[in-house]
Amino acid sequence: MIAIIDYGAGNLKNVYRAVINMGFDAKVTSKAEDINNSKAMILPGVGAFGDAIYNLEKADLIDCIKENISKGKYILGICLGFQLFYDVSYEGGCYKGLGLLKGEVVRFSGKLKVPHIGWNSLVFNKEDEIVKGIRNNDYAYFVHSYYVKPDNFEDVILYCDYEVKVPAIVRNNNIIGMQFHPEKSGKVGGKLLKNFGELIK
């Protein structure tokens, strides 16, 4: 069972439906017991970084998530859920993240439209089994005003070009993050979710 962690940040139903459609068992939950008994975790998210961290703390889920990761359990962060993996975000202030990966979350600057909304092509930084079957310049659907600046760009599997190289998929061992929404990215997103499910079999 894949535990889709409910901490009050939206898009849970779409993520659940997408995972089920790929043939995997999943459960939307905010219970530590369910997370501990799962084969993998998904941390989705639509909303603000500060509110998300507050809700995770209030639900007493931060230590639970970290303990499961330390045991080698896979986690997939989607959009805001991915950004929460990092040390700090400057969205609406300065908020400490989960500190699972080194880097910061910053607002886009420059001439392009913010938020970054819509389909953008994915560019390979390196090969990885999480992107099996994905081609260079396949498209995914993004909705975000802030992006990750990782300390180590070697963790980046795919990126997109939006005046800067925006990490689109990052992996560090059992920690995987996607800035775009795979559940809204058609066949490409479905393939990526299937790849994630295959990792935990």
Active-site residues, by number, are 79, 181, 183
Cα-Cα-Cα-Cα torsion 135, 181, 86, 94, nearest 10 degrees, comes to 140
H-state helical runs in 45-85: 49-58, 62-70, 80-83
Q: How far apart are CA 112 and CA 29, in angstroms?
A: 37
Burial of 72 (0-12, 13-18, 19+ CB in 10 A): exposed
H-state helical runs in 62-123: 62-70, 80-83
Q: How far apart are CA 80 and CA 45, in angstroms?
A: 5
Yes or no: say if 44 and 4 are a contact pair by the CB < 8 Å rule: yes
Structure token digits, residue 201: 């079999």
